[in-house]
Amino acid sequence: MDLGLRNRVALGAASGHGLGKAVAFGLGRERAKLALCARNPAALQTAAEVRPRRLSMRRRWRNGGAGGG
């Protein structure tokens, strides 16, 4: 399906696991440029590592943790 998202920018919130990850991969299949975020950096890294092979990703990590205090 072509949703016309090629080279558009999309933010995938909560994309470390579950529904957020599935939505992010769907946007990636449409060739949108993705910015992924999750509370757990390890889950986000795992999601990037197990991505479908047909999705090419450049990884740039930035830990901007939300500190409580």
pLDDT value for 54: 60
State pLDDT tens for residues 28-63. Answer: 888 888 888 888 888 888 877 776 666 666 665 556
Half-sphere exposure (Cβ direction) of 60: Cα atoms closer than 13 Å: 3
Q: Residue 68's pLDDT is what?
A: 44
Q: Where are the alpha helices (DSSP H) in 6-40?
A: 18-29
**pTM (predicted TM-score):** 0.68
pLDDT of 66 strictly over 60: no
Backbone angles phi, psi at 35, to 5 degrees: -120, 115
**Structure confidence at residue 13 (pLDDT):** 85
Q: Where are the domains of the chain?
A: 9-49
At 19 the pLDDT is 92
SS3 label, residue 54: coil
Cα 27 from Cα 48, distance rounded (Å): 14
The Cα–Cα gap between 43 and 35 comes to 15
